[in-house]
Amino acid sequence: MRSILPALIVLLVAVTPVLAPTSQVLLTLAFAKGLAVLGIIVLLQAGQVSFGHALYFAVSAYVAASVARSFGGELVTTLLAGVAAAAVVGLVVGVFVVRYRYIFFAMLNLAVSMIFFALLEKFYYVTGGSDGLQVPRPTVVGLTLERGEFETILFYGALVLSLLAAWGTHRYLASPLGNMLRAIKTNEVRLEYLGVSARSTLLSGYVLSAALCGLGGALMAVAQGIVTPEYAYWVRSGEFVFIAILGGSGSVAGAFVGALIYEGVRTYAAAFASDIWQMVLGIVLLVIIIFGPSGVTGLYQRLMDRLVGPARPRGAGDSERAPGAAE
Amino acid sequence: MSSKVLMAAKGLEIRFGGVVAADDVNIEIHEGHNLAIIGPNGAGKTTFLNICTGYLKPHRGSVTFDGRDVTGLAPRRLVRMGVARAFQIPQLFTEHTVIENLLIAAAAQARRWSPLTPIATIPERGEMLHLLDMVRCAHIADRPVSELPEGQRKLIDIALALALKPKLLFMDEPTSGVASSEKFEVLDIIAKALAEAKVTAVFVEHDIGIVERFADEVAVWNRGEVLFRGVPGEILSHPDVIRDVIGETV
Amino acid sequence: MRSLGMAAAAIAFAATGAFAADKPDELKIGITTFLSGPASVFGEPAKAAADMIIEQINADGGIDGVPIAASYVDEGAGGEALVSEYRRLVEDVDVDLMLASISSGNCNQLAPLAEDLKVLNLMWDCGTQRIFEENDYRYVFRTQANATPEMLATVLYLLKTKPDFSTIAVVNQDYAWGRDSWDIFQTALKAMKPDAKVVAEFFPKFGAPDFSTEISRLQALRPDVILSTSWGGDLDTFVRQAAQRGLTNTSTLVLPLAESSLQRLGSALPPGHIVGGRGDHYFLHPERVGDPAFDDFMKAFHDKTGAYPIYPVFHMSQALAAVKAVYAKAIEANGGEWPDREQVVDAMDGLSFQGLGNEVTIRDDHQGLEDQLLGTTAKSDEYGFAILKDIMLFDAEDITTPVGEESIEWLKTLGPDFVASVEPKTYAD
Amino acid sequence: MNLQLFALAFFDGIAYAALVFLVAVGLTLIFGVLRVLNVAHGSFYAMGAYATASTVGAIVAAGYSPWLAFPMMIIASALIGGLIGGPVEKLLLRRIYDMEEVLQILVTFAVFMILEDVQRLVWGVQPYFESSALMVLGTVDVLGITYTAYQLILLPVVAILVLVGLRIFLRHTLSGKLILAVTEDREAATAIGVNVDRVYLVTFVVGASLAAFGGALASATTSVIPGMGADMIVLSFAVVATAGLGRIEGAAITALLIGLGRSFAVYLAPELDVLVPYLIMLAVLLVRPEGLFGMAHTRKI
């Protein structure tokens, strides 16, 4: 019962290119952001919030852009190169930041991302400065495509990648490792006393979240055709956290639900209230936090609980609901 | 004392600011002999547990386990060698259910890191349900631990330590927070589980009745020092102990 | 869907045998401009100007009877929002053409998009010279100059008015424009005055609130000339801090974009410094003052916004003049019938049009040829802010990179004698 | 680098550090008491600058003495702190003290977004520049370089006054002591009857006013432009985290470090100047994870 609506939404999204072709690119961008938000949600499971994950988004986007520019660029290799770069940088930065928690964790991530942002602007001859780098359209299995065809392929690619990433992350969070990650939020001391290194556990989650942000960034780069330092700015990191809370930080679905709603609100706010689109977004955020801190997916769970009764007692075997789904 | 020495502390010293929490502590823990630690509040009992399990590093002295120097090793390294701990304030994963708590411990013990296998399906599940049954908590397996009363949380905390299949278990006031009418029953449960798993226990306890019944040896702490140690019958009737320790704590 | 619609339209044409498109109810234009962020100092006046000009065009009967309807997009909302909104206007609203954009970064992003969407795009304000030097476009045109003639004219003005200076320092914003414009300026300067010495290069970050340290260093170095291509709040802050601390007494400032800051700076910018207007843009334009259309607009704009027009207003007027001119030309070429969109694009080649400045012509490479105006500040009691004297008006033909050449390479070929070979029109006051 | 250049870099650094300190100290005060990292702090800075620049501009244009700029700065910042900061705390933050940290930060992020547009609606997008206060104080020549007295003397003096004033306020007045009590132990303070709600409100208003005051002082030296708050907030975060959360003296020292670091960078390696605050922060936190003056907490088990 409670999976009917999600299934319907996925179906509806999947036929978008036929029904509403003009929203196809918007949805691709929403998927790209959703993937990055998924990375934020992984960290939120450990009770940590990063105000600098735009770093991985940007690292991957710039690497993808460079690969597409210098090697002619096949879509798959472009995306893979970006994700790999984000994961490697995530590992290096992660080793350092997993020693910190809460505000310090958030601030250090912010600092590292701002350094990268400044470097992108400084190393003008490599990065194109604030004008950014153009990303030539990659080939797909060797074929050079027109924009329309490419965008359709990218849309379905993004949809499949998002579903895969959501499934993988869901499994990860349900696995022993994922449960240990969530245990960091409630009791690190006990985790250490079970023989588990909280830092290594957090590091594994951190690298995963960096890779997810990277996947989002690389997708965004090829979908947009340009990468700019704005990809790394702190406001974008804040936006990711914003979307995570909007969608519901407790479930992997929240990342994509949030991203779709956010892009929608933002686009229409920018179109019909171009003077006050920031204010509109700010108010939406306030309303969500104060009246439904578990986000849209949390509201949906509550609604379904009321309509068809509680899912069933929470247990370790509960695979239908996302782990740690906000109550 | 002819049995094997499991853990030995030599010349432990630690101070916090001006307060001496351990002052030349020397003590041996023998395999199969459950040791009770008694003493007034602030005597350094928990500090001793913190040092033996790696939470604190002594300023001086050493700890050996199974003949190896383990001074200053992190808790997780000691855990992997077979030293587990239960806490005065139960340390649980409060956003997980009871069985999930235990499954995390089991997965850690069995080193199951596969990121795509749900924890609910690990082979140790049956074992954990049995462990819960042993501590009489099987009926609450699917409850979130945040909803449980203190007594049950205490039991889960100990079960988490047992799930690690330790050789040596430190327990910090296992019956605090448990209604006095249930204390013996609770400790009976624990003792039975310990015996079944062949675990040596070291426990801090205020209740002299419990010490008499469950300890093979008693050590008396005061101001960071071990004042006396011996079999419960002797120690608990020693006039100094009655005056300084039992008189205060009962 | 779109191609389906076009196919249907094609069948309809074939059936009626006419090649004229139906005259629409309105001519839909999308305009990207900064409505938020620091660059809104350009975007807001330009939008005000667009509203006034479009209102005027519509009051005069529109374009061949068709009124213009404009939709605005905020460039300050960020890259994705801009692209999404651009696509929405082109694909959903089905605009006839786009005017985009102010930021060079956005032009880089939107030009290939316009090409793929097959929509006529007039780049109305962005300055990067690379767009047409590195790419060929069918649908993208620029209705003003680019960074190369703007900087080259500045170097020429400097060398003509102050030929004996020996040291120069630069304080530019640390982003693409600041870096690019310095590259061009420096290349041109080295080619025409090889002995000029660069004593300091500062690129404080975009939006920097304070230049005290840079000014202290400049005071210690005492360069003859200080170049800054900064704009908006950054330029205002720099000029004021420099003036407050006496730097303007010891060095000549060269400020190619300061025409847009003159009114805000008031008396803070002392006499004797060089100011440009990114084209021949100045509310006291010596060749345009006296033309009733020009004078009326200056007055009307001042009445409406409380300020005189600055260069983005001129740029907007040129883009809209191009729209008017290209439809007139396309209609004529189509035998008086309303043209289809491809015919309009065809008519862009070689188009000449006049906005508030002098006439602009579109070259083969789609680059507009726009004259450049520079002057030296002088005190004005009438206006309460500095006005320009010793104005030079450079002919676009002399200073624009030839079609097919790359700007930096072309500038390197210029020698010291180039200075004398260019003869601008001069106006003493 | 010779001695003269060293001295010059030092003077420039101090003036910059004074402004950074004034903004950061408000942020750290709020964090110390409310335990909320206030992203909207940058907005108070910007609004303080806007309010001062626009009112002083009007006063001077109407022919009154430019010396009035100084009292106007104080009035404008108090008004911004009270009229905007007060309601933000009372109507919004008060609802979220029990929530997770991330939600608290996001609420202030939302306030930041809203206030950004409020500024545009109220003051428009054209830069304001109102330096009457700076002009009336004149200039000072040091080692052949002209400085404005405002930056070289007034700003550092004001910063020191604020630092000393805050110390006296916190240690020697009743309200100050209540604030400190709540900072130390919220539960205990509540238990002995401290009106915590009131303390929070007062602290937030004071902190926001300080940010606005920083903006007011800055408005005499810089163009007041849209987006100026966004940059300031990241800088003050760096100061507060480097200093140790809630540490007022630490904020002063860190601001000085960052101010001097930046001006020396302009002399020695101009390309690095924007990175200086972050590099200092990373270096400090590597060595002292709780910040220069922060205290480490060990969990009781």
Amino acid at the residue B242: I
What number is the average pLDDT over the span A261-278?
76
What number is the average pLDDT over the span D173-178?
85
Interface size between A and D, measured as CB pairs under 8 A: 116
User: What are the Cα distances from residue B153, in Å, to B46, B94, B144, B165, D187?
Assistant: 19, 10, 11, 19, 25
A133-147, A219-233, A297-311, C161-175: which range is least confident on average? A297-311
Asked if the Cβ–Cβ distance from A29 to C80 is below 8 Å, we say yes
Share of residues in chain A with pLDDT > 90 (%) = 27
pLDDT at C429: 65
Residues of D in contact with A243 (CB under 8 A): none
Cα C172 from Cα C229, distance rounded (Å) = 6
**Per CB distance under 8 Å, which residues of C are interface residues toward A?**
1-2, 35-36, 72-74, 77-81, 83-85, 87-88, 91-92, 104-105, 108-109, 112-113, 116-117, 128, 174-177, 179, 205-206
Tell which residue, C64, C68, C60, C57, has the closest CA to residue C95.
C68
CB-based contact C41:D126 (threshold 8 Å): yes
Residue A327 DSSP SS3: coil
What number is the average pLDDT over the span A199-208?
93
Query: Band of the pLDDT at B45, cuts 50, 70, 90?
Result: confident
Of residues B155 and A320, the one with the higher pLDDT is B155
Of residues D126 and A245, the one with the higher pLDDT is A245
Residue C200 DSSP SS3: strand
C306 domain-assigned:
yes
pLDDT at D208: 94
- Residue D29: half-sphere exposure toward Cβ, Cα within 13 Å: 29
In this structure, what token pair is assigned to residue D301?
């088990």
Tell which residue, B154, B169, B155, has the closest CA to residue B81.
B169
Instruction: Give the tens place of pLDDT for each residue, B191-222.
Output: 888 888 888 889 888 888 888 888 888 888 88
Pick C216's closest partner by Cβ from D12, D134, D274: D12
C380 and C257 in a common domain: yes
Q: What are chain B's partners, defined as 3 or more CB pairs within 8 angstroms?
A: A, D
In this structure, what token pair is assigned to residue A303?
């609604």
Pick D146's closest partner by Cβ from C207, C209, C245: C245
DSSP conformation class of A172: H
Structural domain of residue C43, as residue ranges? 2-142+291-369
Interface size between A and C, measured as CB pairs under 8 A: 89
| pLDDT over 60 at D249, yes or no | yes
Q: What is the mean pLDDT of chain D?
A: 85
ipTM above 0.85, yes or no: no
pLDDT at A310: 60
Tell which residue, A239, A188, A175, has the closest CA to residue A40.
A239
Query: Band of the pLDDT at A306, cuts 50, 70, 90?
Result: confident
Task: Name the CA radius of gyration of chain C, rounded.
Answer: 22
Q: Which residue of C has its CA nearest to D132?
A: C244
| pLDDT over 70 at D43, yes or no | yes
Can you name the residues that pair with C33 across neighbouring β-strands?
A: C74
C378 and C247 in a common domain: yes
pLDDT at C6: 46
For chain D, list the domains and their CATH numbers: 3-287 (1.10.3470)
C285 domain-assigned:
no
Residue C225 DSSP SS3: strand
pLDDT at B246: 67
Amino acid at the residue D156: P
What number is the average pLDDT over the span A179-193?
90
CB-based contact D114:D44 (threshold 8 Å): no
| pLDDT over 60 at A322, yes or no | no
Asked if the Cβ–Cβ distance from C213 to D266 is below 8 Å, we say yes
| pLDDT over 60 at A109, yes or no | yes
In this structure, what token pair is assigned to residue D97?
């003290």
pLDDT at C27: 94
pLDDT at D150: 87
Which residues make Cβ contacts (< 8 Å) with residue D244, sequence separation at least 6? D250, D290, D291, D292, D293, D294, D295
Cα B167 from Cα A192, distance rounded (Å) = 17
Instruction: Give the tens place of pLDDT for each residue, A210-243.
Output: 999 999 999 999 988 888 888 888 888 888 988 8
pLDDT at B5: 83
C21 domain-assigned:
yes
C332 domain-assigned:
yes
Of residues A22 and A58, the one with the higher pLDDT is A58
Instruction: Give the tens place of pLDDT for each residue, D56-68.
Output: 988 888 888 888 8
Query: Band of the pLDDT at B60, cuts 50, 70, 90?
Result: confident
Extents of the domains making up chain B? 1-82+169-176+202-250
C238 and C185 in a common domain: yes
C232 domain-assigned:
yes
Query: Band of the pLDDT at D296, cuts 50, 70, 90?
Result: low
3-state secondary structure C397-413: HHHCCCCCCCHHHHHHC
Which residues make Cβ contacts (< 8 Å) with residue A32, sequence separation at least 6? A158, A216, A217, A219, A220, A223
SS3 content of chain C, % helix, strand, coil (to 5): 45, 15, 35
Asked if the Cβ–Cβ distance from C210 to D5 is below 8 Å, we say no
Cα A124 from Cα A136, distance rounded (Å) = 19
What number is the average pLDDT over the span D18-40?
88
pLDDT at C99: 95
C187 and C73 in a common domain: no
| Domains in chain C, number | 2
In DSSP notation, C62-75 reads TBTTBPEEEEEEEG
Kind and range of the H or E element at B35?
Answer: strand B35-38
Interchain contact B89–D (C-beta under 8 A): yes
Task: Name the CA radius of gyration of chain D, rounded.
Answer: 19
C126 and C198 in a common domain: no
Tell which residue, D224, D198, D230, has the closest CA to residue D41.
D230
Which residues make Cβ contacts (< 8 Å) with residue D52, sequence separation at least 6? D69, D72, D73, D76, D77, D130, D215, D216, D219, D220
pLDDT at C13: 44
Of residues A208 and D133, the one with the higher pLDDT is A208
Q: Which residue of C has its CA nearest to D46?
A: C209
**CATH code, domain carrying C54:** 3.40.50.2300
**Per CB distance under 8 Å, which residues of C are interface residues toward D?**
35-38, 40-41, 43-44, 174, 201-205, 207, 209-210, 212-214, 216-217, 219-220, 232-234, 236-237, 240-241, 244-247, 264-265, 268, 307
| pLDDT over 60 at D240, yes or no | yes
C111 and C32 in a common domain: yes
| pLDDT over 80 at A268, yes or no | no
Residues of D in contact with B46 (CB under 8 A): 301
Asked if the Cβ–Cβ distance from A25 to C35 is below 8 Å, we say no
Cα C317 from Cα C288, distance rounded (Å) = 14
A81-95, A119-133, C254-268: which range is least confident on average? A119-133
C55 and C154 in a common domain: no
Instruction: Give the tens place of pLDDT for each residue, D182-220.
Output: 877 777 778 777 788 888 898 899 999 999 999 999 988
Question: Among the three residues C335, C351, C369, which one is the final residue of a domain in this structure?
Answer: C369
Tell which residue, C396, C395, C147, has the closest CA to residue C256.
C147
C188 and C76 in a common domain: no
pLDDT at A119: 86
Instruction: Give the tens place of pLDDT for each residue, D71-111.
Output: 989 999 999 999 999 999 988 888 888 887 778 888 888 99
C219 and C264 in a common domain: yes
Environment class of residue B107 by beta-carbon count within 10 Å: exposed (0-12), middle (13-18) or buried (19+)? buried
Share of residues in chain D with pLDDT > 90 (%) = 23
pLDDT at D300: 59
Q: Which CATH number fits domain B1-82+169-176+202-250: 3.40.50.720, 3.40.50.9100, 3.40.50.300, 3.40.50.20?
A: 3.40.50.300
Mutation to test the D interface, candidates A51, A97, A117, A281, most D Cβ within 10 Å: A51
Instruction: Give the tens place of pLDDT for each residue, B83-139.
Output: 999 888 888 998 899 999 999 998 988 888 888 888 888 888 888 988 888 878 888
Mean pLDDT by 10 residues, chain C (429 residues): 45 46 88 85 92 94 92 81 85 91 86 91 91 90 94 94 93 86 94 93 82 86 93 88 89 94 89 93 92 94 93 95 94 91 93 94 93 94 91 93 91 91 86
Can you name the residues that pair with C99 across neighbouring β-strands?
A: C31, C122
